[in-house]
Amino acid sequence: NKLSFPCAASFNNKAYKKYYTYLMDNDLIKVGGLLVVDNVLFRGKVAELAALTPQQRQDLKVQDNEQKDDNESKLDENGMPLPLTPEEKRLKKEAKFAKRHRAIAQALDDFNVAISQDVRMESALLPIRDGLTIARRCK
């Protein structure tokens, strides 16, 4: 017989779905148990991502892949990397953060969909600050 006790934890938000699956597959959330998860809307990025069409999502993936190619430094005639201008540095940094934020938003959207479609759980996503999901295991 497994022990049941209240628990609070903070996970890497890109791994929420992985941890959720682990908790459920190992019966660590008992019937009647609660799961409270914060930051499920990630600065509104999850809602922005969810509003995109499949084609727009695909275009962003292509853009992110092209960005990998741009990460290679441009070389001078001696094969030495050319320094980036301040504007190039700024744009590169912005693109890196945008890509990272999209990856986090996608992972959180996957988690939100998984928990909302899981028949073992009753859940509500509250749009408070960065988003809060409260779920109760019912089966």
Please give the share of the chain, as a percent, with pLDDT higher than 70. Answer: 88
CA gyration radius, the chain = 20
Identify which has the larger pLDDT, 45 or 76.
45
Give the chain's mean pLDDT. 86
What DSSP string describes 79-91? SPBPPPPHHHHHH
* End-to-end Cα, the chain, rounded Å: 18
pLDDT band at 12 (very low <50, low <70, confident <90, very high): confident
Per-residue pLDDT reduced to its tens digit, 86-114: 998 898 899 888 889 989 999 999 999 99
Q: What is the mean pLDDT of residues 71-83?
A: 78
Q: Whose CA is closest to 35, among 115, 127, 139, 92? A: 115
Per-residue pLDDT reduced to its tens digit, 30-51: 899 899 999 999 999 999 988 8
pLDDT on residue 3: 52
Residue 137 has pLDDT above 90, yes or no: yes
pTM for this entry: 0.78
pLDDT on residue 2: 55
Measured distance CA(102)–CA(57) in Å, rounded: 10
